[in-house]
Amino acid sequence: MSNSQYETFGLTGTSFEDRGTGGQPPYGVGGPDRGGYVDTYRPAYESLAVSEAPTEPILPRQKPTLVRTQALGDPAEEPRSGGRAAARRAARRRRTAERPDPLRLLPQALVVAFLAGGASAFVASDKAIELSVDGKARTLHTFADDVTELLAEEGVRVGAHDVVAPAPGAELTSGDEIAVHYGRPVRLTLDGQPHEVWTTAHTVDGALQQLGVRAEGAYLSTSRSQRIGRQGLTLAVRTERTVTIMADGRARTIRTNAATVGEAVEEAGITLHGEDTTSVPSGSFPRDGQTVSVMRITGSQEVREEAIPFRTTRTNDPSLFHGTEVVDRAGEPGTRRVTYQVRTVNGVRQKPRRVGDEVVREPRGQVVRVGTKPRPDSTQDADHLNWSGLAECESGGRPGAVDPSGTYGGLYQFDTHTWHTLGGSGRPQDAPAAEQTRRAKKLYVRRGTSPWPHCGAHLHD
Protein backbone atom coordinates (compact mmCIF):
# COMPACT_ATOMS: atom_id res chain seq x y z
CA MET A 1 0.00 0.00 0.00
CA SER A 2 1.60 3.34 -0.99
CA ASN A 3 1.80 6.51 1.06
CA SER A 4 -0.94 8.09 -1.02
CA GLN A 5 -3.34 5.30 -0.01
CA TYR A 6 -2.70 5.98 3.60
CA GLU A 7 -3.27 9.68 3.04
CA THR A 8 -6.79 8.79 1.94
CA PHE A 9 -7.60 7.73 5.46
CA GLY A 10 -6.02 10.80 7.16
CA LEU A 11 -2.41 9.69 7.59
CA THR A 12 -0.83 12.60 5.72
CA GLY A 13 2.73 13.51 6.71
CA THR A 14 3.49 10.01 8.05
CA SER A 15 5.90 7.80 6.11
CA PHE A 16 8.01 4.84 6.85
CA GLU A 17 11.20 6.85 6.18
CA ASP A 18 10.28 9.11 9.14
CA ARG A 19 10.29 6.08 11.43
CA GLY A 20 13.76 4.90 10.52
CA THR A 21 12.53 1.79 8.78
CA GLY A 22 14.09 2.54 5.44
CA GLY A 23 10.70 2.93 3.68
CA GLN A 24 9.37 -0.47 4.87
CA PRO A 25 6.39 -0.81 7.19
CA PRO A 26 7.36 -1.59 10.79
CA TYR A 27 4.99 -4.60 10.85
CA GLY A 28 4.81 -7.24 8.26
CA VAL A 29 1.54 -8.52 6.86
CA GLY A 30 1.54 -12.21 7.59
CA GLY A 31 5.29 -12.59 8.28
CA PRO A 32 8.06 -13.76 5.99
CA ASP A 33 6.43 -17.09 5.31
CA ARG A 34 3.41 -15.26 3.82
CA GLY A 35 5.34 -12.85 1.71
CA GLY A 36 5.11 -9.98 4.23
CA TYR A 37 7.67 -7.88 5.95
CA VAL A 38 9.79 -9.16 8.94
CA ASP A 39 8.69 -7.81 12.31
CA THR A 40 12.19 -6.87 13.53
CA TYR A 41 11.01 -4.87 16.50
CA ARG A 42 8.56 -7.31 18.01
CA PRO A 43 11.05 -8.83 20.60
CA ALA A 44 12.10 -5.37 21.75
CA TYR A 45 8.41 -4.25 21.89
CA GLU A 46 7.54 -7.27 23.97
CA SER A 47 10.46 -6.52 26.33
CA LEU A 48 8.49 -3.49 27.59
CA ALA A 49 6.63 -5.69 30.05
CA VAL A 50 7.25 -4.59 33.65
CA SER A 51 8.02 -8.11 34.80
CA GLU A 52 10.99 -8.28 32.47
CA ALA A 53 12.48 -4.83 33.17
CA PRO A 54 16.19 -4.79 34.28
CA THR A 55 16.71 -5.04 38.01
CA GLU A 56 20.05 -3.26 38.04
CA PRO A 57 20.24 0.50 37.63
CA ILE A 58 21.49 1.85 34.41
CA LEU A 59 24.66 3.87 35.00
CA PRO A 60 25.61 6.94 33.08
CA ARG A 61 27.66 6.27 30.03
CA GLN A 62 31.40 6.58 30.79
CA LYS A 63 34.43 6.68 28.66
CA PRO A 64 35.24 3.10 27.82
CA THR A 65 38.33 1.57 29.45
CA LEU A 66 40.58 -0.51 27.30
CA VAL A 67 40.56 -4.05 28.51
CA ARG A 68 42.60 -6.76 27.14
CA THR A 69 40.62 -9.77 26.29
CA GLN A 70 41.93 -13.20 26.28
CA ALA A 71 41.78 -14.95 23.04
CA LEU A 72 39.96 -18.21 22.92
CA GLY A 73 42.31 -20.89 24.00
CA ASP A 74 44.88 -18.44 25.44
CA PRO A 75 45.99 -18.81 28.98
CA ALA A 76 44.05 -16.74 31.42
CA GLU A 77 45.45 -13.42 32.14
CA GLU A 78 44.55 -11.35 35.10
CA PRO A 79 43.18 -7.91 34.28
CA ARG A 80 44.82 -4.88 35.48
CA SER A 81 43.96 -3.25 38.78
CA GLY A 82 40.21 -2.96 39.08
CA GLY A 83 39.86 -4.87 35.83
CA ARG A 84 37.08 -7.33 36.73
CA ALA A 85 34.66 -4.79 38.13
CA ALA A 86 35.28 -2.52 35.19
CA ALA A 87 34.68 -5.37 32.77
CA ARG A 88 31.34 -6.20 34.35
CA ARG A 89 30.27 -2.60 34.13
CA ALA A 90 31.31 -2.41 30.50
CA ALA A 91 29.30 -5.51 29.65
CA ARG A 92 26.22 -4.10 31.28
CA ARG A 93 26.66 -0.89 29.33
CA ARG A 94 26.90 -2.84 26.07
CA ARG A 95 23.68 -4.74 26.82
CA THR A 96 21.88 -1.51 27.66
CA ALA A 97 23.07 0.13 24.45
CA GLU A 98 21.89 -2.84 22.39
CA ARG A 99 18.38 -2.85 24.00
CA PRO A 100 15.77 -0.90 21.90
CA ASP A 101 14.36 2.34 23.37
CA PRO A 102 10.63 1.80 24.34
CA LEU A 103 9.83 5.48 23.79
CA ARG A 104 11.22 5.23 20.26
CA LEU A 105 9.14 2.12 19.46
CA LEU A 106 5.81 3.55 20.78
CA PRO A 107 4.96 5.96 17.86
CA GLN A 108 5.70 3.22 15.33
CA ALA A 109 3.36 0.83 17.16
CA LEU A 110 0.58 3.45 17.21
CA VAL A 111 0.90 4.05 13.45
CA VAL A 112 0.65 0.34 12.73
CA ALA A 113 -2.41 -0.03 14.99
CA PHE A 114 -4.13 3.00 13.37
CA LEU A 115 -3.50 1.67 9.87
CA ALA A 116 -4.85 -1.72 10.81
CA GLY A 117 -8.03 -0.11 12.25
CA GLY A 118 -8.52 2.12 9.18
CA ALA A 119 -8.30 -0.89 6.90
CA SER A 120 -10.90 -2.67 9.01
CA ALA A 121 -13.22 0.39 8.89
CA PHE A 122 -12.74 0.63 5.12
CA VAL A 123 -13.77 -3.00 4.66
CA ALA A 124 -16.73 -2.61 7.02
CA SER A 125 -18.13 0.52 5.21
CA ASP A 126 -17.99 -0.96 1.71
CA LYS A 127 -21.24 -2.79 0.85
CA ALA A 128 -22.13 -5.00 -2.09
CA ILE A 129 -25.67 -4.07 -3.21
CA GLU A 130 -27.86 -5.42 -6.03
CA LEU A 131 -29.84 -2.54 -7.57
CA SER A 132 -32.70 -3.24 -9.98
CA VAL A 133 -34.13 -0.20 -11.82
CA ASP A 134 -37.29 -0.96 -13.77
CA GLY A 135 -36.25 -4.59 -14.20
CA LYS A 136 -32.58 -3.94 -15.09
CA ALA A 137 -30.39 -5.33 -12.28
CA ARG A 138 -26.73 -4.70 -11.53
CA THR A 139 -24.40 -5.29 -8.58
CA LEU A 140 -22.43 -2.36 -7.20
CA HIS A 141 -20.28 -1.39 -4.22
CA THR A 142 -21.23 1.62 -2.15
CA PHE A 143 -20.46 3.43 1.10
CA ALA A 144 -24.08 4.77 1.29
CA ASP A 145 -25.80 4.32 4.63
CA ASP A 146 -29.42 4.11 3.40
CA VAL A 147 -31.55 3.65 0.27
CA THR A 148 -32.06 7.38 -0.32
CA GLU A 149 -28.30 8.04 -0.30
CA LEU A 150 -27.66 5.11 -2.64
CA LEU A 151 -30.26 6.31 -5.19
CA ALA A 152 -28.78 9.82 -5.05
CA GLU A 153 -25.27 8.43 -5.67
CA GLU A 154 -26.52 6.44 -8.67
CA GLY A 155 -28.57 9.34 -10.09
CA VAL A 156 -31.85 7.43 -9.82
CA ARG A 157 -34.72 9.91 -9.41
CA VAL A 158 -38.10 8.69 -8.19
CA GLY A 159 -41.49 10.42 -8.14
CA ALA A 160 -44.74 10.17 -6.24
CA HIS A 161 -46.04 7.31 -8.43
CA ASP A 162 -42.80 5.27 -8.37
CA VAL A 163 -42.27 2.32 -6.00
CA VAL A 164 -38.99 1.70 -4.13
CA ALA A 165 -38.42 -1.42 -2.03
CA PRO A 166 -37.14 -1.27 0.63
CA ALA A 167 -38.58 2.18 1.23
CA PRO A 168 -36.32 5.26 0.95
CA GLY A 169 -34.51 5.88 4.22
CA ALA A 170 -34.09 2.18 5.03
CA GLU A 171 -30.57 1.30 6.23
CA LEU A 172 -28.30 -0.65 3.93
CA THR A 173 -26.25 -3.72 4.69
CA SER A 174 -24.03 -5.69 2.38
CA GLY A 175 -26.02 -8.16 0.27
CA ASP A 176 -29.26 -6.10 0.19
CA GLU A 177 -31.40 -6.02 -2.95
CA ILE A 178 -32.97 -2.67 -3.92
CA ALA A 179 -35.76 -2.54 -6.53
CA VAL A 180 -37.09 0.62 -8.22
CA HIS A 181 -40.29 0.39 -10.26
CA TYR A 182 -41.29 3.46 -12.28
CA GLY A 183 -44.96 4.44 -12.42
CA ARG A 184 -46.68 4.63 -15.81
CA PRO A 185 -49.89 6.65 -16.46
CA VAL A 186 -52.81 4.74 -17.97
CA ARG A 187 -55.81 6.64 -19.36
CA LEU A 188 -58.32 3.87 -18.72
CA THR A 189 -61.93 3.81 -19.91
CA LEU A 190 -63.54 1.00 -17.94
CA ASP A 191 -67.10 0.06 -18.90
CA GLY A 192 -67.70 3.51 -20.33
CA GLN A 193 -66.26 5.42 -17.35
CA PRO A 194 -62.95 7.32 -17.82
CA HIS A 195 -60.21 6.99 -15.17
CA GLU A 196 -56.64 8.28 -14.79
CA VAL A 197 -54.58 5.58 -13.02
CA TRP A 198 -50.90 4.68 -12.48
CA THR A 199 -49.22 1.31 -12.68
CA THR A 200 -45.70 -0.08 -12.32
CA ALA A 201 -46.48 -3.00 -14.64
CA HIS A 202 -44.68 -3.18 -17.97
CA THR A 203 -47.53 -4.79 -19.97
CA VAL A 204 -51.29 -4.31 -20.35
CA ASP A 205 -51.91 -7.72 -18.81
CA GLY A 206 -49.78 -6.87 -15.78
CA ALA A 207 -51.53 -3.52 -15.39
CA LEU A 208 -54.97 -5.16 -15.44
CA GLN A 209 -53.88 -7.60 -12.75
CA GLN A 210 -52.39 -4.82 -10.67
CA LEU A 211 -55.55 -2.70 -10.99
CA GLY A 212 -57.83 -5.64 -10.21
CA VAL A 213 -59.68 -5.51 -13.55
CA ARG A 214 -61.20 -8.85 -14.57
CA ALA A 215 -59.93 -9.41 -18.10
CA GLU A 216 -61.55 -12.78 -18.76
CA GLY A 217 -64.10 -12.36 -21.55
CA ALA A 218 -63.45 -8.61 -21.67
CA TYR A 219 -62.92 -6.45 -24.71
CA LEU A 220 -59.53 -4.69 -24.82
CA SER A 221 -58.69 -1.89 -27.21
CA THR A 222 -55.13 -3.25 -27.45
CA SER A 223 -53.30 -6.55 -26.98
CA ARG A 224 -52.79 -7.83 -23.45
CA SER A 225 -49.09 -8.31 -24.26
CA GLN A 226 -48.71 -4.67 -25.34
CA ARG A 227 -45.81 -3.09 -23.44
CA ILE A 228 -46.36 0.11 -21.49
CA GLY A 229 -43.64 2.72 -21.87
CA ARG A 230 -42.76 5.43 -19.39
CA GLN A 231 -45.11 7.77 -21.27
CA GLY A 232 -48.07 5.44 -20.55
CA LEU A 233 -50.92 4.56 -22.91
CA THR A 234 -54.67 4.87 -23.52
CA LEU A 235 -56.71 1.73 -22.86
CA ALA A 236 -60.42 0.92 -23.19
CA VAL A 237 -61.80 -2.13 -21.37
CA ARG A 238 -65.33 -3.51 -21.47
CA THR A 239 -65.84 -6.33 -19.01
CA GLU A 240 -68.26 -9.16 -19.64
CA ARG A 241 -71.79 -8.56 -18.30
CA THR A 242 -75.11 -10.40 -18.07
CA VAL A 243 -77.97 -8.72 -19.97
CA THR A 244 -81.56 -9.94 -20.49
CA ILE A 245 -83.42 -8.97 -23.69
CA MET A 246 -87.25 -9.14 -23.67
CA ALA A 247 -88.69 -9.34 -27.20
CA ASP A 248 -91.76 -10.89 -28.88
CA GLY A 249 -93.01 -12.41 -25.65
CA ARG A 250 -89.80 -14.22 -24.62
CA ALA A 251 -86.62 -13.46 -22.65
CA ARG A 252 -83.04 -14.02 -23.84
CA THR A 253 -80.16 -13.78 -21.34
CA ILE A 254 -76.67 -13.37 -22.78
CA ARG A 255 -73.09 -12.70 -21.60
CA THR A 256 -71.69 -9.77 -23.55
CA ASN A 257 -68.98 -7.14 -23.61
CA ALA A 258 -70.94 -4.99 -26.07
CA ALA A 259 -70.40 -1.24 -26.06
CA THR A 260 -74.08 -0.32 -26.56
CA VAL A 261 -77.53 -1.74 -25.87
CA GLY A 262 -78.10 -1.94 -29.62
CA GLU A 263 -75.07 -4.24 -30.02
CA ALA A 264 -76.31 -6.44 -27.16
CA VAL A 265 -79.73 -6.76 -28.84
CA GLU A 266 -78.05 -7.84 -32.07
CA GLU A 267 -75.90 -10.38 -30.20
CA ALA A 268 -79.13 -11.84 -28.78
CA GLY A 269 -80.30 -12.51 -32.36
CA ILE A 270 -83.06 -9.87 -32.33
CA THR A 271 -83.62 -7.63 -35.36
CA LEU A 272 -85.35 -4.27 -35.16
CA HIS A 273 -87.64 -3.24 -38.03
CA GLY A 274 -89.05 0.11 -39.04
CA GLU A 275 -89.86 2.15 -35.95
CA ASP A 276 -88.97 -0.62 -33.48
CA THR A 277 -87.00 0.62 -30.48
CA THR A 278 -85.82 -0.40 -27.01
CA SER A 279 -86.94 0.59 -23.51
CA VAL A 280 -83.57 2.31 -22.94
CA PRO A 281 -81.61 4.32 -25.51
CA SER A 282 -79.91 1.95 -27.94
CA GLY A 283 -76.69 3.95 -27.70
CA SER A 284 -76.43 3.68 -23.89
CA PHE A 285 -73.96 1.36 -22.12
CA PRO A 286 -75.48 -1.99 -21.05
CA ARG A 287 -75.10 -2.58 -17.29
CA ASP A 288 -74.59 -5.94 -15.60
CA GLY A 289 -77.96 -7.51 -14.72
CA GLN A 290 -79.91 -5.04 -16.87
CA THR A 291 -83.20 -6.01 -18.59
CA VAL A 292 -83.93 -4.38 -21.96
CA SER A 293 -87.38 -4.56 -23.59
CA VAL A 294 -87.80 -4.43 -27.37
CA MET A 295 -90.88 -2.49 -28.47
CA ARG A 296 -92.45 -3.42 -31.82
CA ILE A 297 -93.99 -0.27 -33.24
CA THR A 298 -96.32 0.27 -36.18
CA GLY A 299 -97.38 3.77 -37.15
CA SER A 300 -99.94 5.56 -39.31
CA GLN A 301 -101.19 9.10 -39.85
CA GLU A 302 -104.62 10.62 -39.41
CA VAL A 303 -105.79 13.96 -40.87
CA ARG A 304 -108.52 15.92 -39.12
CA GLU A 305 -110.20 19.28 -39.87
CA GLU A 306 -110.67 21.53 -36.88
CA ALA A 307 -112.52 24.86 -36.58
CA ILE A 308 -110.62 28.06 -35.96
CA PRO A 309 -112.71 30.36 -33.72
CA PHE A 310 -113.32 33.92 -34.96
CA ARG A 311 -112.63 37.07 -32.97
CA THR A 312 -115.35 39.64 -32.06
CA THR A 313 -114.70 43.37 -32.26
CA ARG A 314 -116.99 45.62 -30.20
CA THR A 315 -117.34 49.39 -30.62
CA ASN A 316 -119.38 51.83 -28.54
CA ASP A 317 -122.41 53.47 -30.22
CA PRO A 318 -123.95 56.44 -28.36
CA SER A 319 -127.09 56.22 -30.52
CA LEU A 320 -128.02 52.88 -29.05
CA PHE A 321 -129.43 52.41 -25.59
CA HIS A 322 -127.19 51.01 -22.93
CA GLY A 323 -127.20 47.21 -23.07
CA THR A 324 -128.09 47.17 -26.72
CA GLU A 325 -125.71 45.39 -29.11
CA VAL A 326 -126.00 45.42 -32.85
CA VAL A 327 -124.04 42.94 -34.95
CA ASP A 328 -122.83 44.76 -38.03
CA ARG A 329 -120.94 41.75 -39.37
CA ALA A 330 -121.42 38.20 -38.26
CA GLY A 331 -118.29 36.19 -37.63
CA GLU A 332 -117.36 32.98 -39.40
CA PRO A 333 -114.99 30.33 -38.00
CA GLY A 334 -112.02 29.22 -40.07
CA THR A 335 -110.80 25.70 -40.85
CA ARG A 336 -107.47 24.05 -39.97
CA ARG A 337 -106.26 20.68 -41.29
CA VAL A 338 -104.26 18.82 -38.57
CA THR A 339 -102.12 15.70 -39.07
CA TYR A 340 -101.66 13.21 -36.21
CA GLN A 341 -99.22 10.33 -35.86
CA VAL A 342 -100.87 7.24 -34.46
CA ARG A 343 -98.61 4.48 -33.06
CA THR A 344 -99.25 0.96 -31.90
CA VAL A 345 -96.67 -0.39 -29.43
CA ASN A 346 -96.67 -4.17 -29.01
CA GLY A 347 -100.28 -4.16 -30.24
CA VAL A 348 -101.53 -1.35 -27.97
CA ARG A 349 -102.76 1.90 -29.60
CA GLN A 350 -101.09 4.97 -28.15
CA LYS A 351 -102.43 8.52 -27.81
CA PRO A 352 -102.18 10.30 -31.21
CA ARG A 353 -99.34 12.76 -31.49
CA ARG A 354 -99.81 15.99 -33.44
CA VAL A 355 -97.11 16.22 -36.11
CA GLY A 356 -98.33 19.03 -38.41
CA ASP A 357 -101.16 21.42 -39.39
CA GLU A 358 -102.19 23.87 -42.11
CA VAL A 359 -104.89 26.55 -42.33
CA VAL A 360 -107.49 25.81 -44.97
CA ARG A 361 -109.73 28.88 -44.39
CA GLU A 362 -109.03 31.92 -42.25
CA PRO A 363 -111.74 32.91 -39.75
CA ARG A 364 -113.76 36.13 -40.31
CA GLY A 365 -114.13 38.39 -37.32
CA GLN A 366 -117.49 39.59 -36.01
CA VAL A 367 -118.19 43.33 -35.62
CA VAL A 368 -120.63 44.47 -32.91
CA ARG A 369 -121.83 47.92 -31.90
CA VAL A 370 -122.58 48.41 -28.22
CA GLY A 371 -125.05 51.06 -27.10
CA THR A 372 -124.09 53.63 -24.51
CA LYS A 373 -127.24 55.83 -24.60
CA PRO A 374 -129.25 55.83 -21.34
CA ARG A 375 -132.50 53.86 -21.52
CA PRO A 376 -135.85 55.68 -21.56
CA ASP A 377 -137.86 55.60 -18.36
CA SER A 378 -141.19 54.82 -20.16
CA THR A 379 -142.60 53.94 -23.52
CA GLN A 380 -143.37 57.62 -24.07
CA ASP A 381 -139.67 58.18 -24.60
CA ALA A 382 -139.90 55.77 -27.55
CA ASP A 383 -142.84 57.43 -29.26
CA HIS A 384 -140.64 59.59 -31.46
CA LEU A 385 -138.83 56.60 -33.00
CA ASN A 386 -139.46 55.39 -36.53
CA TRP A 387 -141.58 52.31 -35.76
CA SER A 388 -143.02 52.15 -39.20
CA GLY A 389 -139.53 51.93 -40.67
CA LEU A 390 -138.76 49.04 -38.28
CA ALA A 391 -142.00 47.26 -39.19
CA GLU A 392 -141.30 47.68 -42.87
CA CYS A 393 -137.83 46.14 -42.45
CA GLU A 394 -138.99 43.24 -40.27
CA SER A 395 -142.30 42.17 -41.86
CA GLY A 396 -142.92 44.41 -44.84
CA GLY A 397 -145.47 46.34 -42.74
CA ARG A 398 -147.86 43.35 -42.48
CA PRO A 399 -149.30 42.69 -38.96
CA GLY A 400 -150.07 39.02 -39.72
CA ALA A 401 -146.71 38.18 -41.30
CA VAL A 402 -145.00 34.93 -40.21
CA ASP A 403 -141.41 33.90 -41.04
CA PRO A 404 -140.89 30.67 -43.04
CA SER A 405 -139.97 28.72 -39.90
CA GLY A 406 -143.17 29.76 -38.08
CA THR A 407 -141.19 30.98 -35.12
CA TYR A 408 -141.53 34.73 -35.53
CA GLY A 409 -144.72 36.66 -36.38
CA GLY A 410 -146.39 40.09 -36.57
CA LEU A 411 -145.12 43.54 -37.56
CA TYR A 412 -141.98 43.27 -35.45
CA GLN A 413 -141.46 39.51 -35.71
CA PHE A 414 -141.89 38.55 -32.07
CA ASP A 415 -141.23 35.01 -30.96
CA THR A 416 -144.01 33.54 -28.81
CA HIS A 417 -141.95 33.48 -25.59
CA THR A 418 -140.96 37.17 -25.86
CA TRP A 419 -144.58 38.12 -26.69
CA HIS A 420 -145.83 36.47 -23.51
CA THR A 421 -143.18 38.16 -21.29
CA LEU A 422 -144.47 41.51 -22.59
CA GLY A 423 -148.02 40.68 -21.44
CA GLY A 424 -149.39 39.49 -24.75
CA SER A 425 -151.57 36.42 -25.20
CA GLY A 426 -151.95 34.01 -28.02
CA ARG A 427 -149.81 34.59 -31.06
CA PRO A 428 -148.34 38.03 -31.84
CA GLN A 429 -149.47 37.96 -35.48
CA ASP A 430 -153.09 37.57 -34.32
CA ALA A 431 -153.07 40.78 -32.21
CA PRO A 432 -154.05 44.20 -33.59
CA ALA A 433 -151.25 46.37 -35.07
CA ALA A 434 -151.59 49.01 -32.32
CA GLU A 435 -151.10 46.36 -29.59
CA GLN A 436 -148.10 45.00 -31.42
CA THR A 437 -146.52 48.50 -31.59
CA ARG A 438 -147.28 49.19 -27.88
CA ARG A 439 -145.61 45.96 -26.80
CA ALA A 440 -142.67 46.60 -29.19
CA LYS A 441 -142.08 49.97 -27.46
CA LYS A 442 -142.13 48.18 -24.09
CA LEU A 443 -139.53 45.72 -25.42
CA TYR A 444 -137.39 48.61 -26.65
CA VAL A 445 -137.44 50.19 -23.19
CA ARG A 446 -136.13 46.91 -21.74
CA ARG A 447 -133.58 45.87 -24.33
CA GLY A 448 -133.11 48.67 -26.81
CA THR A 449 -132.63 47.65 -30.44
CA SER A 450 -130.93 44.33 -29.61
CA PRO A 451 -134.07 42.25 -30.37
CA TRP A 452 -133.84 43.56 -33.93
CA PRO A 453 -130.10 43.20 -34.77
CA HIS A 454 -130.57 43.78 -38.49
CA CYS A 455 -133.42 46.29 -38.63
CA GLY A 456 -133.09 48.13 -35.30
CA ALA A 457 -131.12 50.91 -36.91
CA HIS A 458 -134.27 52.05 -38.77
CA LEU A 459 -135.77 53.29 -35.50
CA HIS A 460 -133.40 56.24 -35.67
CA ASP A 461 -133.95 57.14 -39.32
Strand 290-295 and strand 414-415: the pairing is unpaired
| Nearest by Cα to 452 from 381, 374, 364, 382 | 382
Residue type (1 letter), 349: R
Q: Give the angle subtended at the CA of 233 by the CAs of 228 and 239, to the nearest 5°.
A: 95
The CATH number of domain 375-460 is 1.10.530.10: yes
Report the topology of domain 184-238.
Ubiquitin-like (UB roll) (3.10.20)
Alpha carbons 226 and 204: distance in angstroms, whole number? 6
pLDDT, the chain, mean: 79
Contacts of 49 (CB under 8 A, 6+ apart): none
Q: Give the angle subtended at the CA of 80 by the CAs of 62 and 91, to the nearest 5°.
A: 40
- Domain boundaries, given as residue ranges, for the chain: 3-58+83-123, 126-181, 184-238, 241-295, 300-368, 375-460
Q: How confident is the model at residue 391 (pLDDT cuts 50, 70, 90)?
A: very high
Sign of CA dihedral 383, 388, 391, 393: negative
> Coil, strand, or helix at residue 7?
helix
Model pTM?
Answer: 0.43
Q: Angle at which helices 387-395 and 433-447 pack, to 10 degrees?
A: 100
Tell me the pLDDT tens digit for each residue of 204-230. 999 999 999 988 899 999 999 999 999
Report the topology of domain 300-368.
Resuscitation-promoting factor rpfb fold (2.20.230)
Alpha carbons 25 and 22: distance in angstroms, whole number? 9
| Best mean pLDDT range from 112-121, 298-307, 368-377 | 298-307
Instruction: Evaluate whether 199 touches 225 at the Cβ level (below 8 Å).
Output: no
Class of domain 241-295: alpha beta
Lowest mean pLDDT among 230-239, 316-325, 423-432, 447-456: 316-325
Instruction: Check if 126-181 and 375-460 are the same fold.
Output: no
Instruction: Evaluate whether 130 touches 176 at the Cβ level (below 8 Å).
Output: yes
Class of domain 126-181: alpha beta
> Coil, strand, or helix at residue 116?
helix
Tell me the pLDDT tens digit for each residue of 96-155. 566 555 555 555 555 454 555 554 445 557 899 999 999 899 999 999 999 999 999 999
